[in-house]
Amino acid sequence: MEVGNQTLIKPHVAVLPSVGLGHLIPLFEFAKRLVVHHGIRVSLLVITTNEPSAAKDQFLCSPNFPPDLHIVKLPPVDVDQVPRDDKLILTRLCVITEESLRFLKSVLVALGKPKALVTDLFSTRAFDVCNELSIPAYLFSTTSVAFSAFMLYLPKLDSEVECEFVELPEPIQVPGCTPVRIEDLVDQARNRKIDEYKWFFHHISRLPLASGIFLNSWEDLEPGSINSIEENPFFKQIPAPPVYPIGPLIKQEETLSTADFECLEWLDKQPPDSVIFMSFGSGGTLSVEQQTELAWGLELSQQRFIWVVRKPTDAAGAGTFFNSGSEVNDPKAYLPEGFLNRTQGVGLVVPSWAPQVSILGHPSTGGFLSHCGWNSSLESIAHGVPMIAWPLYAEQRMNAALLVEEIGVAVRLKVEVGQTIFGREEIERVVRMVMEGEEGKVIRSRVKELKESAANALGSNGSSYYMLSSVAQKWKTDLSL
Where are the chain's structural domains? Answer: 2-251+459-476, 258-455
Q: 424 and 405 in contact (C-beta within 8 Å)? A: no
Helix spans in 215-361 (H): 223-231, 233-237, 258-268, 288-301, 339-342, 356-360
| Distance, CA of 448 to CA of 111 (rounded, Å) | 43
107 or 54: which leads in pLDDT: 107
| Distance, CA of 325 to CA of 59 (rounded, Å) | 11
Nearest partner of 450 among 217, 178, 142, 177, judged by Cα: 217
Q: 301 and 432 in contact (C-beta within 8 Å)? A: yes
Exposed / middle / buried, residue 114 (Cβ in 10 Å: 0-12, 13-18, 19+): buried
Instruction: For residue 322, name the pLDDT band (cuts at 50, 70, 90).
Output: very low
CA distances from 319 to 159, 252, 322, 332, 401 (A): 33, 26, 8, 19, 23
Q: Examine residue 239 and say whether the peptide bond preceding it is cis (omega within 30 degrees of 0).
A: yes
| Distance, CA of 470 to CA of 481 (rounded, Å) | 19
Mean pLDDT of 362-384: 97
Q: 19 and 322 in contact (C-beta within 8 Å)? A: yes
Whether the predicted pLDDT of 43 surpasses 50:
yes
pLDDT per residue as tens digits for the range 149-165: 999 999 999 999 999 99
399 or 19: which leads in pLDDT: 399
Mean pLDDT of 441-464: 97
pTM for this prediction: 0.92
Mean pLDDT of 388-404: 95
Q: Report the CATH architecture of 2-251+459-476.
A: 3-Layer(aba) Sandwich (3.40)
Residues 6+ apart with CB under 8 A from 88: 194, 195, 196
Instruction: For residue 2, name the pLDDT band (cuts at 50, 70, 90).
Output: very low
Say if strands 12-16 and 116-119 run parallel, antiparallel, or are unpaired. Answer: parallel
Torsion, CA 284, CA 285, CA 286, CA 287, rounded to 10: -140
Q: Which CATH class is domain 258-455?
A: alpha beta
Q: 303 and 276 in contact (C-beta within 8 Å)? A: yes
Q: What is the CA radius of gyration of the chain?
A: 22
Whether the predicted pLDDT of 63 surpasses 70:
no
DSSP 405: I
**pLDDT score at 119:** 98
Whether the predicted pLDDT of 5 surpasses 50:
no
Whether the predicted pLDDT of 234 surpasses 50:
yes
Q: 318 and 292 in contact (C-beta within 8 Å)? A: no
Among 78-87, 168-177, 268-277, 449-458, whose mean pLDDT is lowest?
Answer: 78-87
Crossing angle of helices 438-458/374-382, nearest 10°? 90
H, E, C per residue of 127-182: HHHHHHHCCCEEEEECCCHHHHHHHHHHHHHHHHCCCCHHHCCCCECCCCCCCECH
DSSP 222: S
- The reply to whether domains 2-251+459-476 and 258-455 share a CATH topology is yes
Mean pLDDT of 321-325: 47
Helix (H, G, I), strand (E, B) or coil at 53: coil
Mean pLDDT of 341-347: 94
Helix (H) or strand (E) run with residue 3 in it: strand 2-3
Among 6-10, 153-157, 190-194, 475-479, whose mean pLDDT is lowest?
Answer: 6-10
| Distance, CA of 169 to CA of 56 (rounded, Å) | 42
Whether the predicted pLDDT of 81 surpasses 80:
no
Mean per-residue pLDDT of the chain: 91
**pLDDT score at 204:** 96
Q: Which residues of 148-175 are buried (b: 16+ CB within 10 A; e: fewer)?
A: bbbbbbbbebeeeeeeebeeeeeebebe
CA distances from 406 to 172, 225, 230, 231, 251 (A): 16, 11, 19, 20, 24
Residues annotated as part of the active site: 23, 120
Among 209-218, 315-324, 408-417, 455-464, whose mean pLDDT is lowest?
Answer: 315-324
Whether the predicted pLDDT of 296 surpasses 60:
yes
pLDDT per residue as tens digits for the range 179-214: 999 999 999 999 999 999 999 999 999 999 999 999
